[in-house]
Copies of this chain bind each other. A is one copy, B any other.
């Protein structure tokens, strides 16, 4: 039975990759006929690839080091964790690579399609580009898990003890590999994108007075590269990690259930199978995404995601009917487990809605920020921070309710299944997320290539939707990170063989205290990294304007490459300290303070990190949209002081929502993952 399930997972993964190949070929078949568009699009693609390859080069020694540590630090079969880790790191990197490559090919083709064939054609290209990212993530995740588990079982067998002590730990190591790449992609990408953005805006827009995305701005290509680096590769890596983490975590919880041996194996395999049928549902959903002139592209995207969710519900139910049937453990039967899956799915959607309320244009919170811009930047900042902090409350209540309800239905395993359920349609969810930067880039390209206004209007209508999907995607990413982290630290407790951990135990309290400030430290480090990188970018753009006067006159091409280089270098340099904090803290606390303190640390990080991540992401999103509203009003002739205040809010929000906030998601998962991987070593060390 185990083999069948693994083959199904492999099948799901291969199906996703076939979809990727098909879509990619289709996208490349679309031709870019406008030569300027082709040239600039080429610059962006080249810059993105240059960043990625250098990032991976920086990561390689580090990944190899951890691989060696895992080979040396472990004993017996667990030495294979090193290979699994390496595979996870490579798979995540590969998903990022494919996603970026196709996204940066799709952007100019979207502009071209908007020019040649109008709204629906442009939407098709942009969304196809996004769906390549989404399907690469789920496909490579499933294939990677298949390889690790299948190989482990072939060598060591599939009895219960081996599964628990060897096979699943291999899955965890795979997951950690993915997380490690994810962390650096998120942090590095977040620093890159915001340094470029701030540099382009501050010197180009404010000082030189040229429009956004103007081809004369030396940082503009870097800015467009940054959108891909942060929102395609970064977001993809983030959810790759959640996806794999929630599957592996639930598998561990499934195996530790108090049920008949055969049912236990089935429940262990269920998360993997749910993920596999989710691929089919996601692919089905992509076929519904189409629109017509004058219609809102949002509706098309909603049709796709809701369609996929509906299909997934049906598929998952059939799957459970076949796999579990009438079997029960304790009071838990198929309806309880199915219910937990649906709770996860619904919670994800509701969190998205809440996020949209707090960050959407025309909604009350954003309007309150807009009103605050009238009394200057200080009140704009205070109101925005207040909106973000307030939004954390309902969001976390939904997470808490999902945890509680899924637990009441099916225990801790139910919580795991809820996390998997939240991510069941990840393929299309990510497609919608990655669609955002492609549409954004397409607009920038239309501007830089000086295409007719009608083209810009089409790309703008695609882009406007992208902002909302980005906000919703971020909410969703945090929700799944919270659930995944809870499963992971519960699995850690299980794997490390820790008995009851009393919450008022001093070691636990000390662990929680230390854990609670790591998200603050981490955010501070990532934000000041953006500051430093932006500072260098500002200096470079100023230098180019000063030394090459032909740039602003339009007679001389700016040195785009230099700006990309600067963003790349500072991002790669600055991503290391926060990344190392995340990786080293659990190891230090685990070996110096013990398992109980480590568990406290994980919980402290999760509890504080979730609230802080929501606050920062939503404050940033709300400022962004308040600026958009102020922009519209300013064109209508209103106060330009208020507009300037709105720009300040937006600039503060940039590192909040694109660097620190999303990186916290990975932080909380990664630290639990590190703990889970070193659990056997800790058990050996502490006895």
**Contact flag A412-B524 (CB < 8 Å), given A376-B648, A512-B603, A513-B396:** no
CB of A166, distance to nearest CB on chain B (Å)? 24
Is A683 in contact with chain B by the CB < 8 A criterion? no
Q: How far is the CA of A518 from the CA of B608 in the complex (A)?
A: 11
* Structural contact, B648 and A381, CB atoms closer than 8 A: yes
Is A439 in contact with chain B by the CB < 8 A criterion? no
Is A500 in contact with chain B by the CB < 8 A criterion? yes
Q: How far is the CA of A599 from the CA of B372 in the complex (A)?
A: 39
Could you tell me which residues of chain A, from 478 to 518, have a CB within 8 Å of some CB in chain B? 482, 486, 489-490, 493, 500-504, 506-510, 512-518
Q: Can you name 5 A-B pairs with beta carbons within 8 Å?
A: A383-B528, A386-B527, A390-B520, A404-B510, A412-B506
* Structural contact, A652 and B400, CB atoms closer than 8 A: no
Nearest B residue (CB) for A368: B528
Is A94 in contact with chain B by the CB < 8 A criterion? no
On chain B, the residues within 8 Å of A377 by CB distance are 377-378, 648
CB-contact partner of A528 in B376, B386, B538, B610, under 8 A: B386
On chain B, the residues within 8 Å of A523 by CB distance are 386, 389
CB-contact partner of A500 in B500, B512, B538, B615, under 8 A: B500
List the 3 closest A-B pairs by CB distance, nearest first.
A378-B651, A389-B524, A390-B524
Nearest B residue (CB) for A396: B517
Q: How far is the CA of A386 from the CA of B389 in the complex (A)?
A: 17
Could you tell me which residues of chain A, from 534 to 583, have a CB within 8 Å of some CB in chain B? 534-535, 538
On chain B, the residues within 8 Å of A525 by CB distance are 390
* Structural contact, A403 and B506, CB atoms closer than 8 A: yes
Q: How far is the CA of A504 from the CA of B490 in the complex (A)?
A: 6
**Contact flag A386-B521 (CB < 8 Å), given A396-B514, A513-B403, A603-B512:** no
Nearest B residue (CB) for A527: B386
On chain B, the residues within 8 Å of A652 by CB distance are 378, 381-382, 385
Other contacts beyond A390-B528, A404-B510: 19, CB < 8 A = A376-B648, A377-B377, A377-B648, A378-B652, A385-B527, A386-B523, A393-B518, A393-B520, A395-B517, A396-B516, A400-B510, A400-B513, A400-B514, A490-B504, A501-B503, A503-B599, A513-B607, A607-B608, A608-B611
Q: How far is the CA of A414 from the CA of B521 in the complex (A)?
A: 29
Nearest B residue (CB) for A491: B504
* Structural contact, A610 and B503, CB atoms closer than 8 A: no
Is A259 in contact with chain B by the CB < 8 A criterion? no
Is A375 in contact with chain B by the CB < 8 A criterion? yes
Q: How far is the CA of A652 from the CA of B648 in the complex (A)?
A: 13
* Structural contact, A517 and B397, CB atoms closer than 8 A: yes
Chain A, interface size category, equals: 35 or more
**How would residues 645 to 672 of chain A score, 1 for a CB under 8 Å from any chain B CB and 0 otherwise?**
0011001100100000000000000000
Is A604 in contact with chain B by the CB < 8 A criterion? yes
Is A36 in contact with chain B by the CB < 8 A criterion? no
Q: How far is the CA of A21 from the CA of B449 in the complex (A)?
A: 81
Is A392 in contact with chain B by the CB < 8 A criterion? yes
* Structural contact, A513 and B389, CB atoms closer than 8 A: no
CB of A204, distance to nearest CB on chain B (Å)? 14
CB of A575, distance to nearest CB on chain B (Å)? 16
* Structural contact, A524 and B648, CB atoms closer than 8 A: no
Is A531 in contact with chain B by the CB < 8 A criterion? yes
On chain B, the residues within 8 Å of A372 by CB distance are 531
* Structural contact, A510 and B403, CB atoms closer than 8 A: yes
Q: How far is the CA of A520 from the CA of B607 in the complex (A)?
A: 12
* Structural contact, B521 and A390, CB atoms closer than 8 A: yes
**How would residues 184 to 210 of chain A score, 1 for a CB under 8 Å from any chain B CB and 0 otherwise?**
000000000000000000100000000
**Contact flag A403-B500 (CB < 8 Å), given A202-B375, A514-B396:** no
* Structural contact, B524 and A386, CB atoms closer than 8 A: yes
* Structural contact, B396 and A608, CB atoms closer than 8 A: no
**Contact flag A648-B378 (CB < 8 Å), given A503-B508, A506-B404, A523-B389:** yes
CB-contact partner of A607 in B375, B489, B516, B648, under 8 A: B516
On chain B, the residues within 8 Å of A599 by CB distance are 503-504
* Structural contact, B517 and A392, CB atoms closer than 8 A: yes
Which residue among A382, A399, A501, A535 has the maximum number of chain B CB atoms within 10 Å of its CB? A382
On chain B, the residues within 8 Å of A535 by CB distance are 375
Is A407 in contact with chain B by the CB < 8 A criterion? yes
Is A530 in contact with chain B by the CB < 8 A criterion? yes
Which residue among A403, A503, A513, A655 has the maximum number of chain B CB atoms within 10 Å of its CB? A503
CB of A507, distance to nearest CB on chain B (Å)? 8
**Contact flag A610-B513 (CB < 8 Å), given A381-B381, A652-B378:** yes
Q: How far is the CA of A59 from the CA of B611 in the complex (A)?
A: 31
On chain B, the residues within 8 Å of A647 by CB distance are 378
CB-contact partner of A403 in B379, B403, B509, under 8 A: B509
On chain B, the residues within 8 Å of A390 by CB distance are 520-521, 524-525, 528
Nearest B residue (CB) for A378: B651
* Structural contact, B520 and A615, CB atoms closer than 8 A: yes
Is A600 in contact with chain B by the CB < 8 A criterion? yes
On chain B, the residues within 8 Å of A337 by CB distance are none
Is A387 in contact with chain B by the CB < 8 A criterion? yes
Q: How far is the CA of A515 from the CA of B395 in the complex (A)?
A: 13
Is A415 in contact with chain B by the CB < 8 A criterion? yes
On chain B, the residues within 8 Å of A515 by CB distance are 607
On chain B, the residues within 8 Å of A382 by CB distance are 527-528, 530-531, 651-652, 655
* Structural contact, B383 and A531, CB atoms closer than 8 A: yes
Nearest B residue (CB) for A513: B400
Q: How far is the CA of A261 from the CA of B520 in the complex (A)?
A: 45
Q: How far is the CA of A29 from the CA of B488 in the complex (A)?
A: 68
Q: How far is the CA of A517 from the CA of B383 in the complex (A)?
A: 18
Q: How far is the CA of A378 from the CA of B603 in the complex (A)?
A: 33
**How would residues 78 to 116 of chain A score, 1 for a CB under 8 Å from any chain B CB and 0 otherwise?**
000000000000000000000000000000000000000
On chain B, the residues within 8 Å of A528 by CB distance are 382-383, 386, 390
